[in-house]
Amino acid sequence: MMHKWGMVIDLDRCSGCQACMAACHAENNIAIVGPEEAAKGRTIHWIELLPYIEGEFPHIKARLLPRPCMHCEHPACIKVCPVGATYANEEGIVGIIHSRCIGCRYCTTACPYTVRSFNWYEPRWPKEMKGSLNRDVSVRKKGVVEKCSFCHHRLLRAREKARAENRELLPDDYIPACVQACPSQAMYFGDLNDPFSKVSELSRERRAFKLLEDLGTEPKVIYLSEGM
C-alpha cells in the first residue's frame, strides 16, 4: 500500500522552545532576514510557532502552536495555482516547483493555514554560512512562493539507502528535521496508512484534532491537546 505521510504534534508536550524552527531553517536553506522586515511579516518559516490564547478570561493560558504545512488531502493551494507549480505527489506530499512559480501569491491567499511564504527579497546568508547550506535542498530565488515539504529530500535519500541495502523502508528511516530536533518528544512522524504506526495510533486518540477541520481540507498534521 502507498504511504501516506503524516505528522502528530502533541501540544501538551510542546514547550515552545522553537528548536523545530531552527532545525528547519538550517535543513531547508531558509534565508535569514533582519528584525525590520521580520516585524513587517516578511520572514520565511516553513514551520512557525503561532501564539494563541486558550480559554475564556480570566481562565486563560497563552500557548504556542507549531504550524508546518498541513499537506492537506484536499489542498486549496493546488487548485488555485494558475501554472500548476504546486502539486501533490502520489504519497500526498504537497510540493512546489519553484522554477515554474510566477509569484502571483494566489496560493498564499487560498491557504487556510498561512503556511506559504513569498520570497519578497533576494535570499541572503552571511558569508560564513554559505558553506553550510544543505546541498539536498534547492535555494529559492526572489519572487517565488515556498513552504514546508515534509523534508521530502530526506525521504528520497532514505529510499535510496534502503534500496542500496536491499530492504524495505523502515519507519525510522524518514523523519523531517523538525521532528528529529524536538527535545520534548512532542512531534511524531510516520505513515498514516499503516494502522499500527505511532502516528496512526496517536491520530485516533481522544485528544486528537485538526486545524480548521470544517473547511474539508483534511490536513495530515494532527494535533493533540487536553485543552485547559
User: Closest CB to other proteins among 120 and 125?
Assistant: 120
d(CA 135, CA 123): 16
User: CB of 145: closest distance to other proteins in angstroms?
Assistant: 8
| The one among 116, 152, 154, 220 contacting other proteins by CB under 8 A | 116
211 binds other proteins (CB under 8 A): yes
Query: Segment contacting other proteins (CB under 8 A): 18-26, 153-161, 166-174, 212-220?
Result: 212-220
**Residues binding other proteins: what is the number (CB under 8 A)?**
47
Nearest alpha-carbon partner for 188 in 52, 3, 14, 45: 14
121 binds other proteins (CB under 8 A): yes
User: CB of 216: closest distance to other proteins in angstroms?
Assistant: 7
94 binds other proteins (CB under 8 A): no
d(CA 11, CA 211): 13
| The one among 12, 13, 40, 156 contacting other proteins by CB under 8 A | 40
| Grid cell at residue 46 | 516553513
Residues 6+ apart with CB under 8 A from 154: 136, 174, 175, 176, 177
Nearest alpha-carbon partner for 111 in 222, 208, 219: 219
d(CA 130, CA 125): 6
| The one among 17, 22, 49, 80 contacting other proteins by CB under 8 A | 80
**Pseudo-torsion of CA 171, 173, 176, 182, nearest 10°?**
80
User: Closest CB to other proteins among 110 and 169?
Assistant: 110
Residue with cell 504511504: 3
| The one among 108, 134, 180, 225 contacting other proteins by CB under 8 A | 108
User: CB of 195: closest distance to other proteins in angstroms?
Assistant: 30
Give CB contacts under 8 A, 24+ apart, made by 56-59.
59/228
| The one among 122, 160, 205, 213 contacting other proteins by CB under 8 A | 122
Q: Contact positions toward other proteins, by CB under 8 A?
A: 37, 40-42, 50, 52, 67, 76, 78-85, 100-106, 108-114, 116-122, 141-145, 211-212, 215-217
